[in-house]
């Protein structure tokens, strides 16, 4: 299926959000349309133009942003010495979205999230359900401890050669023992977090390369869309984007997405994370799109969230993984249906 070019950006800018951060945002589509917000993956991913196709440009006001520390937002997490991530938590990112909504004069909007962006979309919707017209999630994650341990270690059962390589590197450089399964051993994600936020620039870049090669391995089945390979060739220098991406991914994942106790203020059990707060979304339309072949993020998470979210719809695409053309088609149809069903008061 040949897709049309994405709509052009009409407005863009930088918004100061505190802690010395400014986030880059852009707007396309219909100025008086139903506002839709797109949240990219990562953490630390890029805002690519293709996302603008996910909303009908003739009747949606399409908003995208680079999350703090990523893309065109400043400061980025990639330059040498950029290791102070104290102001990088999910709570900070959720607050950024509220500041952006207010800055753009939007009352309510449809929230879309891809991969890590689906975690952020759920966190935002649980924190501000009154601001959300609907939610569409693609390659669904909630960044729980179980998911992080699976994507960094468990999925090695399917890719033992690649996992042994990424784990062996951590074993020689960060006191990680790939053979030790003691409860108090250093997690692989924590080993890499320490390496990529260290002061040795050579070690930082070697660790970034190792991590990116591992990511490319475990997203390979049914690949498409946002899951395209992104490791850099060995004969090219490590880019600031790659360095910042790995720093942010390992930072957030080592802390279980900073969502482990997200639902506690609303009466959920401690440690239940986003799943424990799904009751906050009752009455909000939701569509969850997931690939059966997504070995990095098994369909179990999407299924559990769907079961806890009364009225939501789960669409599992059997032949695709962490993205793909059919998943993209379902995603666009879901957003268009929500735009068409939105109340007349749109701003």
Catalytic, out of 92, 96, 294, 312: 294
Q: State how far the alpha carbon of 303 is from the alpha carbons of 5, 256, 306, 328, in Å.
A: 33, 19, 5, 19
> Active-site residue 294, yes or no?
yes
Catalytic, out of 66, 73, 115, 227: 115
Q: Under a CB-based contact definition with an 8 Å cutoff, are residues 222 and 321 in contact?
A: yes
Q: Under a CB-based contact definition with an 8 Å cutoff, are residues 119 and 326 in contact?
A: no
User: Distance between alpha carbon 317 and the CA centroid of its chain, in Å?
Assistant: 20
Q: And the tokens for 160?
A: 């033992």
**Residues sharing a CB contact under 8 Å with residue 318, sequence separation 6 or more, in sequence order:** 292, 293
Burial degree of 200 (CB within 10 A; 0-12, 13-18, 19+): exposed
> Active-site residue 115, yes or no?
yes
Number of CB atoms found within 10 A of residue 311's CB: 11
H/E run at residue 90: helix 90-103
Residues of 241-276 as b/e, b for ≥16 C-beta within 10 angstroms?
bbbbbbbbbbbbbbbbbbbbebbeeeebeeebbbbb
> Active-site residue 230, yes or no?
no
Angstrom distance (rounded) from CA 79 to CA 73: 13
Annotated catalytic residues are 115, 294, 322
């Amino acid at each position: 299926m040949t897709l049309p070019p994405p709509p052009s950006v009409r407005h863009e800018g930088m918004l100061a959000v505190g802690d010395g951060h400014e986030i880059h945002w852009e707007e396309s589509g219909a100025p008086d349309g139903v506002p839709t917000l797109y949240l990219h993956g990562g953490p630390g991913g890029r805002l690519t133009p293709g996302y603008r196709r996910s909303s009908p440009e003739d009747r949606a006001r399409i908003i995208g942003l680079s999350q703090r520390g990523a893309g065109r937002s400043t400061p980025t997490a990639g330059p040498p010495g950029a290791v102070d991530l104290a102001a990088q938590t999910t709570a900070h990112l959720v607050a950024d979205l509220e500041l952006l909504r207010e800055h753009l004069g939007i009352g309510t909007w449809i929230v879309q999230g891809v991969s890590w962006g689906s975690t952020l979309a759920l966190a935002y919707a649980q924190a501000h359900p009154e601001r959300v017209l609907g939610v569409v999630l693609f390659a669904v994650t909630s960044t729980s401890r179980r998911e992080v341990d699976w994507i960094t270690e468990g999925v090695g059962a399917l890719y033992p050669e690649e996992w042994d390589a990424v784990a062996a590197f951590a074993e020689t450089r960060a006191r990680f023992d790939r053979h030790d399964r003691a409860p108090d051993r250093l997690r692989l994600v924590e080993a890499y977090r320490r390496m990529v936020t260290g002061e040795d620039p050579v070690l930082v870049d070697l660790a970034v390369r190792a991590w990116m090669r591992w990511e490319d391995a475990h997203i390979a089945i049914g690949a498409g869309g946002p899951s395209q390979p992104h490791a850099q060739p060995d004969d090219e220098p490590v880019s600031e984007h790659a360095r910042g991406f790995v720093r942010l991914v390992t930072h957030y994942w080592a802390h279980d997405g900073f969502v482990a106790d997200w639902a506690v203020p609303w009466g959920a059990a401690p440690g239940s994370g986003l799943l424990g707060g799904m009751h906050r979304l009752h009455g909000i339309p939701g569509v969850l799109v997931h690939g059966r072949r997504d070995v990095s993020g098994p369909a179990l998470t999407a299924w559990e969230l769907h079961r806890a979210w009364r009225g939501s719809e789960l669409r599992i695409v059997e032949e695709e993984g962490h993205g793909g053309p059919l998943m993209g088609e379902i995603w666009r149809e879901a957003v268009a249906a929500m735009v068409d069903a939105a109340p007349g008061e749109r701003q």
